[in-house]
Amino acid sequence: MSEILLSAKNLTKRFGGLAAVNDVSVDLQRNHIHAVIGPNGAGKSTLTNLLSGDLPPTSGSVQLVGQDVTGWNPEKISRQGLGRSYQKTNIFLPFTVWDNVRLAAQSRQPHAARWFRRANDFVAINDRATRAIELSGLENRKNAMAGAISHGEQRQLEIAMTLATGPQVLLLDEPLAGMGVAEAERMVALLLSLKKDHGILLVEHDMDAVFTLADKLTVMVDGKVIASGTPAQIRADADVQAAYLGE
């Protein structure tokens, strides 16, 4: 049986007269990658902000790991199991890779302010950080300064920091942006390996990567879903070709 980790129903977000996200439903199951694609301005980033709690929806609902999290703040949604990467903005460049990941792990500890008093928390934080470093393939860069590693490795570090919070769902907005071919291949391999334990909702422009990675695709144009299905179904969809892929 497939386990649904995330289910958004009929989400709408209005900015004044503009429906940036218009009656969008998406779901995500464990061990799947669900990619959301669409041209600039389609509403993809707004959708991720609705799912992470960074923006409240005008209407609609979000279920995450068996809980209705509609209207919850990002902190609470993160604790419920959603890990979102915020494109480098969370990386402390003068700190080592390890310290960055450890800080991320610590930030999600229920008693973060008093963590140092609790031996069990200390062990749990270190274990989560170690595991996140292993999963993201950064073991050999652990002691490097975050500012000294390559662009691709910094993107891996963002993933490691997200993993350190112990998420079941990963919400990734353009993890391949700005990458060269070799870096992109490494990130694709990393994302595939993360399917083993997670569900991944991916916004990505690199269509080769999207069609390699995705188990399911949702195509948005002007705030609306115009098609949703398997990669083969989306490739064959005339509306999608006209609106997007044929561009």
Q: Of 15 and 92, which CB lies nearer to ligand ADP in the complex structure?
A: 15
Instruction: Name the residue among 100, 104, 106 with its Cα closest to residue 121.
Output: 106
Report in angstroms the alpha-carbon separations of 28 from 2, 34, 81, 85, 169.
Answer: 10, 6, 13, 17, 8
Stretch of residues binding ligand ADP (CB under 6 A), selected from 40-48, 64-72, 160-168, 185-193: 40-48
Q: Tell me: does residue 83 bind ligand ADP (CB under 6 A).
A: no
| Interactions with ligand ADP, residue window 197-216 (CB under 6 A) | none
Contact 215, 202 (CB under 8 A): no
**Binding to Mg ion, residues 40-79 (CB under 5 A):** 44-45
| Of 134, 144, 47, nearest in space to 96 by CA | 144
65 binds, among ligand ADP, Mg ion, none (CB under 5 to 8 A by kind): none
Report the residue from 22, 28, 45, 169 that binds ligand ADP according to the rule CB under 6 A: 45
Closest CB to ligand ADP among residues 37, 157: 37
Distance CA 10, CA 94 (A): 43
Tell me if 43 contacts ligand ADP by CB under 6 A: yes
Q: Which residues lie near ligand ADP (CB under 6 A)?
A: 15, 18, 20, 38, 40-46
